[in-house]
Chains A and B, each alone.
Chain A
């Protein structure tokens, strides 16, 4: 990905930017809570030694609550344009009903951040990709809007932006003609902050979503996964999603 013409001059520039970065990290420092997720220090890049994931407890998810959806929309600046069939949905609440017993379960549904993501397999331009730390993203610089990934995703996690966009969040660029989905709030995770949905769910007191490093055996999420039964959606597809559910 290196661009030869820029390379020679890059060193001096890097030095220059470092001075600015130092100031920025000072102001960021109060928000950095990476230790809470079992991390050591803020890394300069996505760490292959980690795999970020979510654990969703369907028992704790209240049917009448959609705080996670609202928080995601606010954080990432996506909202409906009045076309329910095509509006973006980075996260949505779904309801499962056991037809035999009539019991209903609700839970949030978003990109499952698969270890073997079908969206990445089918992408003809390489725009759909998985970061070293397991977060699956769309590089909109190379996305051509073909929507193969939307067809490939068994979870209907991705949306296509049909309308022109304004007032995007600077940390979550999104534009007409590209595909988008849950980013696991990658801009927050890189700062050591949990995703917006997790924070919002905890704020309601439900605490139905837990965020953490699946590769760290001492993280809260790993301990719970080791202790209690959990489920990967569509286990038959063997995608090894980073989002796990309990009490479905």
Chain B
């Protein structure tokens, strides 16, 4: 939705916009391509509803022992195991992980991978994954990091108040 609004506003403002639109798009999540058969309901449906579907089915599987549902995190990674530049399947620790592609963008941290493995069976998660800790906001460092991130990813340098003096 936000993406559409941004695109719309860019289009409405007229000239010079195409270049900016491309630059802006670098901020939007790059959803890693999946393998296998696409979801019948379409990606839009799944992007909006996947958490409800998974929560609903996890209760049926866990509580009722219904194993025919087939919607499990394990099942997700059959097709959604994102890889890094070297072709290695990444864990949730990497920002290339399929779930993080969007969840980082909307600043929602998921706890699934505290208990569930974030890779398909047989793909080692490594110790770095275990070191994942809840993010504790560090005011100064975080602001600087965010500014650096925005500058790196946008055409226009982001400026926030108070930053100029540093």
A interface residues with partner B (beta carbon < 8 Å): 1-3, 5-7, 9-10, 12-14, 16-18, 20-21, 24, 43-46, 129, 131-133, 137, 139-141, 163-171, 173-178, 186, 190-191
Contacts and interface: CB of A to CB of B under 8 A. Distances in A.
The interface residues of chain A, by DSSP majority, are classed as loop
Given A20-B70, A186-B65, A9 B49 contact: yes
Contacts of B45: 9
Given A45-B66, A170-B74, A173-B115, A6 B52 contact: yes
Contact of B53 (A6, A141, A177): A6
A141 to B, nearest CB: 7
Interface string B96-129: 0000000000000000001111001100111101
Interface residues of B, number: 40
A144 B34 CA distance: 34
B79 to A, nearest CB: 11
Contacts of B75: 20
Given A12-B41, A13-B41, A21-B70, A6 B49 contact: yes
Interface string B30-45: 0000000001110001
A168 to B, nearest CB: 5
B53 to A, nearest CB: 6
Contacts of A13: 41, 53
